[in-house]
Amino acid sequence: MSVSHEEYQLLVENVVDYAIFMLNREGIITNWNMGAERIKGYTASEIVGPHFSKFYTEEDRLAGVPERGLEHAKLNGKWEAQGWRVRKDGTRFWASVVINAVRDRSSNIIGFAKITRDITEWRDAQEALEKAQEQLVQAQKMEGIGQLTGGIAHDFNNLLTVILGNLDTLSKAVKDGAPDAAKLTRLIESAQRGAQRAASLTQRLLAFSRRAPLDPRVIELGRLVTGMSDHLRRSLGEQIAMETVLSGGIMACERGSKSAGNSASQSCNQRARCNARRRQADDRDGEYLP
């Protein structure tokens, strides 16, 4: 044996972070290093001689995993895998395993070199990272649901404001006696439109929850804005003047579904009414209303 070969053997035998040992062609353990003793718990005198399947779980042995590993290494030169392995004391560890076919000068297989590394800590860290990522995704989902819920509550509040405001005005008009039939009709229609928009919002939410396909429809923006302008004038009162100027040749556009309405425009108009009423309530003589 040359000096270099002896040094190489000493190097392999003294590696402690990797279990490095040889198998004969049948999978019998023929040598053992310090890393194998540290990771698997067996001394060389205890383990040299038995079949290497001793380190596998009962489930893997019954499934023929050790034999498949050797066969794969014979055909392809190397076999790599990760899985549970069993120590001398019966405890399990997650192992990264490489089996290399060893050939003589005539390319005949004379055995196998097996390298095993304990990567249990790495696996635990990966699982902790994946769990943290799942928790982050869940937190983001909950944040999104919270924002959606807040938006829905705001839209419903605006719609209820329209309905209740018109019903309140209608109630006062009836109590005053000799109500104007045309005015009552407008108030009733306005309240009904608010209720229809609330129903439309509910239908959109149901469609979203069921992932139902949308049904695009063409709407006339000019007619839509004109109808909202009339509604705004009645809601804002006589103290606020409003003028609607529509550009010629306004193109039609699509909305998302039959009952989708035009929630963005409606919401903006509802906010405008609410803001105007707040300013009216807070206004004093001589103040400028922006």
> How many beta carbons lie within 10 A of that of residue 53, not counting itself?
15
Which value, to the nearest 10 degrees, does the dihedral of the CA atoms of residues 47, 45, 9, 35 take?
60
Torsional class of 49: left (φ above 0), alpha (ψ -120 to 50), beta (otherwise): left
pTM tops 0.75: no
Residues 218-225: contacts with CB under 8 Å, at least 24 apart: 218/252, 218/253, 218/254, 219/252, 219/253, 219/254, 219/255, 219/262, 220/250, 220/252, 221/250, 221/251, 221/252, 221/253, 222/246, 222/250, 224/262, 224/265, 225/265
Q: Which two tokens stand for residue 48?
A: 């040299």
Q: Which two tokens stand for residue 211?
A: 């992932």
CB 20, CB 114: distance < 8 Å? yes
DSSP-derived letter for residue 239 is T
CB 161, CB 274: distance < 8 Å? yes
CA distances to 56, 156, 186, 224 from 248, rounded to whole Å, are: 81, 33, 28, 14
End-to-end CA distance of the chain: 98
**pLDDT confidence of residue 64:** 95
DSSP-derived letter for residue 90 is S
* Ordered domains of the chain (ranges, CATH): 3-118 (3.30.450.20), 125-282 (no CATH)
Q: What is the DSSP string of 38-90?
A: HHH---HHHHSSSBGGGGB-HHHHHTTHHHHHHHHHHHHSEEEEEEEEE-TTS
CB 93, CB 39: distance < 8 Å? yes
Give dist(CA 223, CA 265) in Å, integer.
13
CB 38, CB 84: distance < 8 Å? no
Give dist(CA 64, CA 71) in Å, integer.
11
- pLDDT of the chain along its 290 residues, tens only? 455 667 667 777 778 899 999 999 999 999 999 999 999 999 999 999 999 999 999 999 999 999 999 999 999 999 999 999 999 999 999 999 999 999 999 999 999 999 999 999 999 999 999 999 999 988 888 887 777 777 777 777 777 787 888 788 777 777 777 567 777 777 788 788 878 888 877 777 777 666 666 566 677 777 767 766 666 666 566 677 777 777 666 556 655 544 434 444 554 455 555 455 444 444 433 332 23
Backbone angles phi, psi at 168, to 5 degrees: -65, -45
Amino acid present at 86: V
Residues in the chain: 290
Q: Which two tokens stand for residue 162?
A: 């329209």
CB 255, CB 203: distance < 8 Å? no
**pLDDT confidence of residue 259:** 40
